[in-house]
């Protein structure tokens, strides 16, 4: 069976559904093809189930890409206030958690309900449990899904990245890009916990659950947020953020300031102050959780307690160098860094420069946001830009045969 549309969108995630809504509003006949049994599975698990749906302070500097300028056009044309207006129109209660991060008061289901309702209003047809077998291109596109073939002059690829394979993430979007001759920037897990080498696991991982505010740095990039010790290494917002900038097999370690803005050894330097392990533990406990402070002194205590040794201890707490053994991988990564090379796409329309009518949006593109709602904002913005371009695509001409 063959069904004709003005645009076929592969993937019913945040970017795909937003693109479908905007194209439908502009009078286009839209089909969204999704291999999973329900739409928006990643939306539902995001933000601890409350969906950090945007960030009030979203700027192009909050994104990582081989071309840092690529995201500017889309973000300027559809910003946080635009999506927030839609949230308020649907009367979804929300709150700002911190640093401009907006979350649903109830659950992420509210955002998915919004998107599905908007799709219904726009006349969008969503085909669930529909696995694409082949995509062909001639004058337009044919998407072969077994019992049904979808045809359209425009095809939007919103299949997401490799993150969280247990909810259905695959490399299909990258394979399609390669099929049509588009370059791919090497993919890697991003916003992901790091794994210690065996020695540091032995030293620290029995402290799993302990957290502290730190500054985590890699190269010139740094983030001041919470760090969490895990059973295998480190996590928490500061580590997730910096993980996007750390690349496997590099010589650059992570540098972690465990006491940002504080001089923890000052109490040991006053006249007649005791200088020993107990005094050091007491001083560091004012900065770090007690268990972590005690372990640090146990591991880092000097042979003597001279001023030079105290200076070295002070410096050590502000620059803990960690060379990760790796990361927790795509299973625990919130997003995928890398993807379809932005040099292959128009920053205004998301359309391929090589294949007319072929668009890539959302996570499948080499644009990765920081933690805190930025990746959702990229999904909304890139989806809207593609939809606006699709609206200018000539309609299907139906030829009748006598």
Give the pLDDT score at 401: 35
pLDDT surpassing 50 at residue 397? no
Find residue 155's DSSP bridge partners.
Answer: 8, 358
CATH number of the structural domain 2-189+335-390 = 3.50.50.60
Q: List, as one string, the DSSP characters of 64-83.
A: E-SSTTTTHHHHHHS-HHHH
Structural tokens at position 330: 């795509």
Q: What is the pLDDT of residues 72-82, one digit of tens each?
A: 999 999 999 99
pLDDT surpassing 60 at residue 61? yes
Q: What is the pLDDT of residues 293-311, one digit of tens each?
A: 999 999 988 889 999 999 9
Given a contact cutoff of 8 angstroms between Cβ atoms, the answer to whether 316 and 300 are in contact is: yes
Query: Helix, strand, coil % (nearest 5) of the chain?
Result: 35, 25, 40
Separation between Cα atoms, residue 60 and residue 388, nearest integer Å? 21
Give the pLDDT score at 1: 87
Among residues 255, 186, 252, 173, the alpha carbon closest in space to that of 214 is found at 255
Query: What does the buried/exposed string (b/e) look like for 373-395 if buried means 16 or more CB atoms within 10 Å of the residue's CB?
Result: bbbbbbbbbbbbbbbbbbbebee
Give the pLDDT score at 393: 65
> Element (H or E) spanning 10, and its range?
strand 7-10
Q: What is the mean pLDDT of the chain?
A: 94
Give the pLDDT score at 256: 98
pLDDT surpassing 60 at residue 243? yes
User: Pairing relation of β-strands 125-127 and 30-33?
Assistant: parallel
Read off the pLDDT band of 341 (50, 70, 90). very high
- Using a 10 angstrom Cβ sphere, with 0-12 exposed, 13-18 middle and 19 or more buried, the burial of residue 109 is middle
Q: What is the pLDDT of residues 153-205, one digit of tens each?
A: 999 999 999 999 999 999 999 999 999 999 999 999 999 999 999 999 999 99
> Element (H or E) spanning 194, and its range?
strand 194-195
Give the pLDDT score at 303: 85
- Every domain of the chain and the residues it spans: 2-189+335-390, 194-327
Residue 9: count of CB within 10 angstroms of its CB = 36
Give the pLDDT score at 272: 84
Give the pLDDT score at 399: 41
Ramachandran area for residue 304 (φ above 0: left; ψ -120 to 50: alpha; else beta): beta
CATH topology classification for 194-327: Elongation Factor Tu (Ef-tu); domain 3 (2.40.30)
Given a contact cutoff of 8 angstroms between Cβ atoms, the answer to whether 277 and 239 are in contact is: no
């Amino acid at each position: 069976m063959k069904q004709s549309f003005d645009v076929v969108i592969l993937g019913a995630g945040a970017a795909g559904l937003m693109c479908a809504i905007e194209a439908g509003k502009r009078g286009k006949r839209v089909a969204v093809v999704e291999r999973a049994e329900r739409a928006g599975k990643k939306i539902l698990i995001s933000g601890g189930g409350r969906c950090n749906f945007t960030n009030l302070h979203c700027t192009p500097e909050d994104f990582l890409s081989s071309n840092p300028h690529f995201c500017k056009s889309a973000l300027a044309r559809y910003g946080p206030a635009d999506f927030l207006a839609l949230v308020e129109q649907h009367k979804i209660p929300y709150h700002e958690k911190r640093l401009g991060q907006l979350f649903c008061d109830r659950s992420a289901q509210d955002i998915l309900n919004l998107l599905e309702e908007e799709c219904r209003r726009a006349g969008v047809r969503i085909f669930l449990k529909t696995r694409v077998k082949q995509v062909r291109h001639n004058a337009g596109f044919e998407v072969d899904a077994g019992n049904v073939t979808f045809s359209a002059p425009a095809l939007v690829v919103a299949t997401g990245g490799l993150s969280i394979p247990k909810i259905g993430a695959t490399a299909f979007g990258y394979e399609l890009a390669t099929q049509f001759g588009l370059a791919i920037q090497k993919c890697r897990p991003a916003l992901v916990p790091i794994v210690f080498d065996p020695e540091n696991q032995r030293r620290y991982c029995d402290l799993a659950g302990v957290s502290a505010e730190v500054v985590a740095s890699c190269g010139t990039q740094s983030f001041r947020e919470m760090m969490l010790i895990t059973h295998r290494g480190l996590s928490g917002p500061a580590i997730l953020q910096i993980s996007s900038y750390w690349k496997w097999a590099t010589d650059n370690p992570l540098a972690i300031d465990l006491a940002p803005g504080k001089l923890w050894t000052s109490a040991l330097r006053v006249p007649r102050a005791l200088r020993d392990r107990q005094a050091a533990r007491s001083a560091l406990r004012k900065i770090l959780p007690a268990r972590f402070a005690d372990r640090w002194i146990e591991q880092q205590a000097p042979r003597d307690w001279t001023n030079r040794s105290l200076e070295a201890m002070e410096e050590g707490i502000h620059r803990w160098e960690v060379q990760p053994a790796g990361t927790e991988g795509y299973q625990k990564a919130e997003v995928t860094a890398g993807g379809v090379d932005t040099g292959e796409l128009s920053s205004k329309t998301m359309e391929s420069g090589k294949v007319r009518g072929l668009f890539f949006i959302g996570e499948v593109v080499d644009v990765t946001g920081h933690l805190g709602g930025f990746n959702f904002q990229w999904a909304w913005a890139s989806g809207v830009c593609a939809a606006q371009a699709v609206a200018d695509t000539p309609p299907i001409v139906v030829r009748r045969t006598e």
